[in-house]
Amino acid sequence: MAARRAGTRKPGLGRGLDALLPVEQPDAGFAEIPIDRVAPNPRQPRQGFDEEAMGELADSIREVGVLQPIVVRTGEESGTFVLVAGERRLRAAETAGLERIPAVIRAEAGDDVSLTEALIENVQRKDLGPLEEAAAYQQLMEDFSMTHERVAERVGKSRSAVTNTVRLLQLPAPIQGMVERGELSAGAARALLTVEDVAYAVHIAERAAAEGWPVRRVEEAVKSRAASGDEGPKARSGAPAMRPAAVIALEARLAEHLDAKVSINYTGRGGRLVVRFSSIDDLERIYRQFLV
């Protein structure tokens, strides 16, 4: 998803990759490169991109920068590059108005293994923020075709820990900004993932940040919202009937298993299950999860 704005980067993903892949020459390693010098991948199989998802990614980049570098190789003309992986990030960064973007520059065509190892080693550092860690996991999955299970195995964490961290990238941009600035904990932010009303989610996040709410209180606010069905940022007075604990637990387990936003509206005689997806590719991924 997104590297930080030039000049404001704190120790994290960019610095780690820079240390692990030192730029001994201008055409290999880690660097911020001009967007207008990057040519698209001629073998890119994807022809269309979901406009809503692209807009959300651009908003995130404006809020927290580009946490996830693209991968390029050097072009035939000096100072030019050809995109290897990260076209969504490249397009979103351009939409967000960036002139430069962080990139891992491959010195050779077949060095995916060394890049993967360097990224994994960087993830295991202790100075990554929650969003940087999420972006690193996402990059391993998107650019190097690793599953959640494989990423978890390589970085020494549980699959659920990897999945829950990656889900932070689904948060609205303003909430990502609060997490990035340390105003809101990752746990409190994750509690807001099931809230479909973005305005309400941001409202709760701002209150939680301002008043120092613990994660449990954020979870209670989300549950009360779901039970009351209130559409405005202010909750109605009165104590709404709480949803059954089994339904809430199943909602969380489905969201983790599908790596998607899931909401269950249970009426006592039946209900509705809603699974959100960001693109056709994402929908196909979710469909395959149902077949497992």
Gap between the Cα atoms of 124 and 76, Å rounded: 35
CA 75 to each of CA 26, 27, 55, 59: distance values in angstroms, whole numbers, following the listed order: 12, 9, 29, 30
Show the tokens assigned to 217.
Answer: 């209180």
Is position 63 annotated as part of the catalytic site?
Answer: no
Gap between the Cα atoms of 103 and 26, Å rounded: 12
Strand order in the sheet with 81-85: 29-34, 100-106, 70-74, 81-85, 38-39
Give residue 118's identity as a one-letter amino acid code. A
Q: Identify the active-site residue in 52, 77, 87, 121.
A: 87
State the pairing for strand pair 100-106/70-74: parallel
Gap between the Cα atoms of 143 and 103, Å rounded: 13
Gap between the Cα atoms of 212 and 188, Å rounded: 10
Show the tokens assigned to 246.
Answer: 């089994």
257's enclosing H/E stretch is helix 245-258
Helix, strand or coil for residue 116?
helix
Q: Would you name the residues annotated as active-site residues?
A: 87
